[in-house]
Structure 1
Amino acid sequence: MGLFDKLTGTKRPADGIAPLSADEVRAALLGLNSPDVPYVIRDGREEGADLVAEWRLLEPAWRTFFLRSQLSRVFKVHMRLVAEKAEVRALDQQFEVEWVGDVPRISLSSEAQRGQVKTISKQWSLSRGEDGNREETFSFDSDDLKNPLQSAVLKSGWTWRGVISGRL
């Protein structure tokens, strides 16, 4: 693995794994959908990709003296299946939308990211658990979405190639 591969998050399958067809890789990725997971993997043709994995986060609301505010983060992984090279090209996108007021109105946040995104978000309550530690009330790690995608691709004998900028 070269330095550029490390920067882009590119991962290669183990030696000796025969690459599956593009349809089988697509089916493996779509097979990750389940009622037990907080994300959805769907067709991405409308967004210029073969597949899009999307995780919408609705972080806990907080209330100031006059109004209530809640942040919603959208984290997406756009994927293009390149059968000739047996690789999935992946481009991450993250942006935030803030819902403000008792009658919610959308206020776009100034934060948006594109490329290879690594994000971790946690929130704890002020109370202590039975073990004496603070209780975690909210948690998100972008790897919770990307790791299953990468694993499905690598088990299919394909390369996971992260894209930093530009098009898939």
Structure 2
Amino acid sequence: MSRLRDGWGRYRDRRKGTKYPDSGVTSLSAQEVRAALLALNGTGLSRRWSRGPYVGRQWTYEKGPDGHRHKVVRFDSRHMRDPLRNTVLEAGWTWRGVLRL
């Protein structure tokens, strides 16, 4: 039964995007992780101050239900998520993903 539970847990982790630090990485304290995350702001992590964090975006014009063209904007949050995830993993912490549909 425990093997089944372990298999289900690994499946759920993979589906959610949960990542674990490499073995042998020493966990940093919460204050050290916080400082490392805040330090990302000055490392080329793109930000636009007028509208908040910059995430890759693209737009198209599509015909709406009313027959008029509407601007449809799609965002890609990987530009923000990947550096955060990498910093957390390098600090020896687990990155808990969210279920992606």
**Consecutive unaligned residues in structure 2, runs of 5 or more:** 1-8, 62-68
SS of structure 2 residue aligned to 1:5: helix
| Identical positions, percent | 39
Residue of structure 2 equivalent to 1:148 = 83
Counterpart Cα distance in 1 of 2:60 and 2:99: 32
Report the Cα offset of residue 163 of structure 1.
2.8
Counterpart Cα distance in 2 of 1:33 and 1:155: 17
Q: Between Structure 1 and Structure 2, how many residues are aligned?
A: 83
Report the Cα offset of residue 15 of structure 1.
1.1
Residue of structure 1 equivalent to 2:92 = 157
Runs of 4+ in 1 over 3 A off after TM superposition: 53-62, 68-74
Counterpart Cα distance in 2 of 1:161 and 1:59: 27
Q: What CA deviation, in whole Å up to 9, does each residue of 1:102-128 have, x standing for no partner?
A: xxxxxxxxxxxxxxxxxxxxxxxxxxx
Q: What CA deviation, in whole Å up to 9, does each residue of 1:72-94 have, x standing for no partner?
A: 555xxxxxxxxxxxxxxxxxxxx
Counterpart Cα distance in 1 of 2:54 and 2:14: 24
In the alignment, structure 1 residue 34 sits paired with structure 2 residue 42: yes
Given that 1:10 and 1:161 are in contact with CA atoms closer than 8 Å, whether structure 2 keeps it comes out as yes
The structure whose residues are more often strand, as a share, is: 1
Q: What CA deviation, in whole Å up to 9, does each residue of 1:32-68 have, x standing for no partner?
A: 113733247xxxxxxxxxxxx9434554687xxxxx9
Q: Which has the higher contact order (CA 8 A, sep 6+)?
A: 2
Matched ranges for 1:18-29 at <5 A: 18-29=26-37
In the alignment, structure 1 residue 16 sits paired with structure 2 residue 24: yes
RMSD: 3.4
**Consecutive unaligned residues in structure 1, runs of 5 or more:** 41-52, 63-67, 75-139
Given that 1:56 and 1:72 are in contact with CA atoms closer than 8 Å, whether structure 2 keeps it comes out as no
Residue of structure 2 equivalent to 1:55 = 54
Matched ranges for 1:87-166 at <5 A: 142-164=77-99
